[in-house]
Amino acid sequence: MNILLAKNFIAEAAINPFRIIKLGAADGQVLQAAAVADKSIGVSTDIAAAINERCDVIVAGEADVQYGGAVARGDLLTTDANGKAVVAAPGAGVNNRIIGVALVAGVLDDIGRVAISQSMMQG
């Protein structure tokens, strides 16, 4: 794995390993992403965090991420309701926050690899 930048935050709720992470309600706090429009910033490391514990989030470089469905190499990834990476496929007029590009193919619950590159996609 090639981590360029990992930042440390406080978990507002329990965070599982290898999940897409969004900004929390207050500065310096984060949550697992749960919707395609969430302000996703990165991916949690292999260490889980309980509420109010410190957690590292990979915000630049490559990260391991848990897939929430079938993913092909090169797919743009967003989050599902559990913070797992799924293929971005927004409907007309719907925004999807993109966390990055899949570097390996996989299926539900595989741990894949994503090149972090935050962006927005509209259908």
**Same-domain status, 47 and 71:** no
**Same-domain status, 40 and 70:** no
Q: Residue 121: helix, strand or coil by DSSP?
A: strand
**Same-domain status, 50 and 70:** no
Query: How many structural domains are present in the chain?
Result: 2
Q: How far apart are CA 97 and CA 35, in angstroms?
A: 9
Torsion, Cα 59 121 34 92, to 10 degrees, reads 180
**Same-domain status, 84 and 51:** no
pLDDT value at position 3?
83
Q: How buried is residue 65: exposed, middle or buried, by Cβ count under 10 Å (0-12/13-18/19+)?
A: buried
**Same-domain status, 16 and 56:** yes
Q: Which residues lie across from 85 on neighbouring strands?
A: 67, 79
Q: Which of 60, 80, 97 is the last residue of a domain?
A: 60
**Same-domain status, 71 and 24:** no
**Same-domain status, 82 and 116:** yes
Q: Which of 60, 87, 105 is the last residue of a domain?
A: 60
| DSSP strand pairing (40-44 vs 20-23) | antiparallel
What pTM does this model have? 0.96
Q: What is the pLDDT of residues 60-78, one digit of tens each?
A: 999 999 999 999 999 999 9
Name which of 100, 34, 41, 33 is nearest 71 in CA terms: 100
Structural domain harbouring 7: 3-60
pLDDT value at position 2?
77
Q: What is the pLDDT of residues 36-67, one digit of tens each?
A: 999 999 999 999 999 999 999 999 999 999 99
